[in-house]
Structure formats: structure tokens, C-alpha cells
């Protein structure tokens, strides 16, 4: 069966004075809840990569992410992924026992490929992004959105293989919402089989994203049904992993899809 990846963010809320400890406690509770709801993988993020987000320092990201990885690793057998583009965070996360490095920069950062290649078991999710989070939604342009992203992902998989990361450790992701217009996102979903036919598991992150809000005219908290529709479509086009905030609902949607297709 396809897998559900539950999203856990450890990003301290600057409006509360609880600081890091409180946000880590909340993140742990969130992880526990998503595991109970049936998440196969918990994806821990310490840096917001949403459009317009400002970067955080390496130390800050380490302080947010690593203790949480250790705590989840100690108490649960769930797979753990860390959403990071920093090689030092990757190295520490791998040392703490994560199963997947989820990099929205597809290991293009300094030393990132080497950090993953230094392990011989950790998997990596290579995601496509055009531009950088601060500015990527300004005016994204492609010659052919499907072919351009396919070429990028093939180039990055080859770079990984050349560095000694075997192909069975690679996951690919077209990167919904990362330097894409609404039409780009819709075309990517319509043609998602192009990516699943490349021979790598495809991860899809569409949960609550703004192109759903744009089509449905709904706020971020009202995008579950739209997200589920896209999750089912993605599975029917060969996706292997759905990254989501709403694990229980997505697990049911995927079980029904699986019952029909398989």
C-alpha cells in the first residue's frame, strides 16, 4: 500500500513566550497523534519553506529538530524523515537515526550530497523547486513544466548515483507549490504518471496548499476535501507517498483507493 507521511513542524510561535521547549512538547504530541492516526512516516521540519519564509540558522534548526527526532526514535517504530536543506542538520539527523532526508533543494546545497552519501542506508527525497522560498512565487516560468521538472529530477538522481547513493534510496517529488502557478500545479497533477514512470517512488505534497485555496476559494483550514481529491488522483497516477497534515482522513482515502485499484 501507498504510504502516508504526516507533517510535524517545530517552529516556535513568536507570539507565545513558551519558546523552544513548549514548541518541542507540542511537536511531540502532534507526532504521537499522527502516529495513532496511522502515519507511516513522520516528517519533521524546523525551517519554514513556505512562500515568503525567512531562513533560520543551522544551530537554531538543530536545536529544534534533533531532540525531537531522538524522542520519537526512542518511543516509536515509525519511519522518520527530516525536512531540511542544511548538510549539518542532515548529518546530525542521520546520526540520530532518521530514515529519510527530505530536501526541498534536492541536495543542491553545499556538502548535502556528501552528507547523504556518507550513510549507506538513509533514503533521500529530491524535490523540485524553481527559485528560492522568499521569491519563488513571483513569476514562475517554464518552457514545458513537465519536461523541465522531469529533466531536473533526472539530473539530480544521476548526481546522487554518481556520488554513491544507490537508486533504491531515492524518492522524487515534483514540488507542488514551489515556484509554480496554479496552472503549473494542475498540469503536474494531470501528468503525474510521467514522474512515476521514471522508476523511483514519487512523493506528493499537496496538503492545504494555496493552489487548492485558489481553485476552491477556501482558507487554509478549509482545504481538506480538496487535498483528499488530489491525494486520490495522485495515487491513481502512481504516487507512492502522500505528505499531509490530515493523516486520519488521508489514510481512509488511500485505503479505499487501494481496495479499488488492487
| Active-site residue set | 209, 243
Is 123 a binder of ligand 7PJ (CB under 6 A)? no
Q: Comparing C-alpha atoms, which of 3, 98, 114, 120 is closest to residue 46?
A: 98
Strands 100-103 and 123-127: parallel
Distance CA 102, CA 106 (A): 8
Distance CA 198, CA 133 (A): 27
* Contact positions with ligand 7PJ (CB under 6 A) in 86-105: 102, 104
Question: Measured from the CB of residue 5, what is the shortest distance to ligand 7PJ in angstroms?
Answer: 8
Task: Please pick, from the candidates 24, 30, 49, 257, the single residue that binds ligand 7PJ as defined by CB under 6 A.
Answer: 49
Instruction: Return the residue matching grid coordinates 502516508.
Output: 4
Between 39 and 203, name the residue whose CB sits nearer to ligand 7PJ. Answer: 203
Between 50 and 141, name the residue whose CB sits nearer to ligand 7PJ. Answer: 50
* Contact positions with ligand 7PJ (CB under 6 A) in 152-171: none
Task: Please pick, from the candidates 12, 175, 201, 226, the single residue that binds ligand 7PJ as defined by CB under 6 A.
Answer: 175
Question: Measured from the CB of residue 255, what is the shortest distance to ligand 7PJ in angstroms?
Answer: 22
In angstroms, the Cα distances linking 243 to 54, 115, 173, 228 are 22, 24, 11, 11
Is 173 a binder of ligand 7PJ (CB under 6 A)? yes
Question: Measured from the CB of residue 260, what is the shortest distance to ligand 7PJ in angstroms?
Answer: 25
Q: What is the dihedral of CA 95, 99, 105, 111, to 10 degrees?
A: 30
Tell me the per-residue interface mask from 2 to 31 with ligand 7PJ, x by CB under 6 A, - otherwise.
------------------------------
Distance CA 156, CA 41 (A): 23
Q: At what angle do helices 224-236 and 247-261 cross, to 10 degrees?
A: 30
Instruction: Kindly list the residues in this chain that would bind ligand 7PJ in the complex (CB under 6 A).
Output: 49-50, 83, 102, 104, 125, 127, 173, 175-176, 203, 205, 209, 243
Amino acid at each position: 500500500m501507498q504510504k502516508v507521511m504526516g507533517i510535524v513542524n517545530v517552529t516556535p510561535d513568536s507570539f507565545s513566550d513558551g519558546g523552544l521547549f513548549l514548541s518541542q512538547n507540542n511537536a511531540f504530541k502532534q507526532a504521537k497523534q499522527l502516529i495513532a492516526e496511522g502515519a507511516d512516516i513522520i516528517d519533521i521540519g524546523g525551517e519554514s519553506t513556505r512562500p515568503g519564509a525567512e531562513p533560520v540558522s543551522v544551530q537554531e534548526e538543530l536545536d529544534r529538530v534533533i531532540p525531537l527526532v531522538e524522542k520519537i526514535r526512542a518511543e516509536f517504530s515509525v519511519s522518520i524523515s527530516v525536512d531540511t536543506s542544511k548538510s549539518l542538520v542532515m548529518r546530525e539527523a542521520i546520526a540520530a537515526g532518521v530514515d529519510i532526508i527530505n530536501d526541498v533543494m534536492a541536495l543542491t546545497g553545499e556538502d548535502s550530497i556528501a552528507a547523504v552519501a556518507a550513510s549507506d542506508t538513509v533514503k533521500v527525497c529530491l524535490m523540485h523547486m524553481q527559485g528560492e522560498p522568499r521569491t519563488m512565487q513571483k513569476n514562475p516560468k517554464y518552457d514545458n513544466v513537465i519536461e523541465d521538472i522531469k529533466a531536473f529530477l533526472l539530473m539530480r538522481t544521476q548526481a546522487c548515483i554518481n556520488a554513491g547513493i544507490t537508486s533504491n534510496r531515492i524518492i522524487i517529488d515534483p514540488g507542488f507549490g514551489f515556484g509554480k502557478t496554479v496552472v503549473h500545479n494542475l498540469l503536474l497533477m494531470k501528468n503525474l504518471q510521467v514522474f512515476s514512470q521514471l522508476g523511483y517512488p514519487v512523493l506528493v505534497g499537496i496538503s492545504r496548499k494555496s493552489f487548492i485555496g485558489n481553485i476552491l476559494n477556501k482558507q487554509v483550514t478549509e482545504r481538506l476535501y480538496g487535498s483528499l481529491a488530489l491525494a486520490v488522483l495522485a495515487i491513481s497516477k502512481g504516487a507512492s507517498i502522500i505528505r499531509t497534515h490530515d493523516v486520519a482522513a488521508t489514510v481512509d482515502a488511500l485505503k479505499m483507493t487501494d481496495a479499488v485499484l488492487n
